[in-house]
Amino acid sequence: MNKVMSNKKVIAMYIAPALFLVLALIYVPIVQTGYFGLMKWNGIGDMEFIGLKNYSHLINDPLFWKSALHSFLLAVFSALSLIGYLFISIILAGKIRGANLLRKIYLIPMLLASVAIAQLWLKIYHPTNGILNTVLISLGVDNPPAWLAESNLALYAIIVPIIWQYAGFYILIYYAALKNIPESLIEAARIDGATPLQIALKIKLPLIMNVIKVTIVLAVVGSLKYFDLIYVMTDGGPNGSSEVMASYMYHKAFKGFDFGYGSAIGFFLLVICLVVTFIISKLTETKNDTY
C-alpha cells in the first residue's frame, strides 16, 4: 500500500475528482463573477464591456454602504454572542445535572430550516397576535412596537433569531473542544487551590484558543454574507433598514435585472470577507502559531 500511495500517478488520480469539483464549483464561478462585474448585462441579452464602471458606481453607492454597515453590525453582534456560547459550553462541560438534555435543546435550531425559523419568529414578532407583544401588554406596555415594521428596530429584531439559530452549532464546537482537555490538568489545578473561574480563564480558554479563533472567523464572515433569514422576514425592509450586502446584491441582480452590478457587489463582498479574515487572523495571532 505504501508503494502504491507513493506513486504520483495514483495520488493525482485520487486528487483529480475533488480538485475538478473545487475548480468547477468555487474558483470558476469566482472568476466569472469578477468578469461579469466588468459588464453591463441584464442576465438575458448581450453583454457590454464597461470596464470598472460598476465598481466605481459601487464605491459611490450610499445604499450599498448602508447595507455594508448593517452587515458589519450583524458581524459584531455575532462575534459578541460567542462569549455567551463559550460561557454556556463551559457550564455544560462541567458535569452539571441535565447537561445532556440542555445540549439537545440548544441543538434544536440547527435541525430547522432557515425558512421555518423565519416563519417562527414572524409569529413571535407579530404586532397584534405575537407572543412577544402579548407578554409586553400583559406587563403593562400600552403600545408595544411593531418590531419588523419600524426602521430603527427591524435590523436588531432580525439579529436575535440569527444568533439563536447558530447557538447550538457554536456551543457544540466549544463543548467538544473543552471535553478534549485532559482531566488531569483540571484536577491538578483544583488540588493547587484554583477556583472554577481561574481554571476557566487560565487553563481552559488558552487550550481552546485555536478553536475560538476559528469560530470568530466563521461567525464574522458568515454574518457578512448572510442572506436567507433576512430575505424571508423583511426582504431588506422597511425602507432598506435591514438590507445587508447579500440581499442588496440579490435585489440588484434578480429584481433590478442588473447582473453586471450585482456581480460587482458579489465580487466586492468576496474581497471584503478575505480582508476581514486576514485581519482577524493577524489580530488573534500568537507566538505559538505556526504556518
Contacts of 72 (CB under 8 A, 6+ apart): 224
Q: Is 45 helix (H, G, I), strand (E, B) or coil?
A: coil
Stretches where the chain sits below pLDDT 50 are 290-291
The answer to whether 257 and 42 have CB atoms below 8 angstroms apart is: yes
Of 224, 231, 228, 220, nearest in space to 245 by CA = 224
Q: For position 5, what pLDDT does the model report?
A: 63
Residue 25's CB is within 10 A of a number of other CB atoms, namely 9
Q: For position 291, what pLDDT does the model report?
A: 39
Burial of 76 (0-12, 13-18, 19+ CB in 10 A): middle
**First-to-final CA distance of the chain:** 30
Q: What whole-number distance in Å separates Cα of residue 250 and Cα of residue 185?
A: 51
Q: For position 289, what pLDDT does the model report?
A: 58
Q: For position 2, what pLDDT does the model report?
A: 67
Q: Look up residue 55 and give its three cell numbers.
A: 465598481
Of 111, 79, 103, 95, nearest in space to 214 by CA = 79
Q: For position 271, what pLDDT does the model report?
A: 93
Q: Is 142 helix (H, G, I), strand (E, B) or coil?
A: coil
Q: For position 290, what pLDDT does the model report?
A: 46
Residue 46's identity, in one-letter code, is D
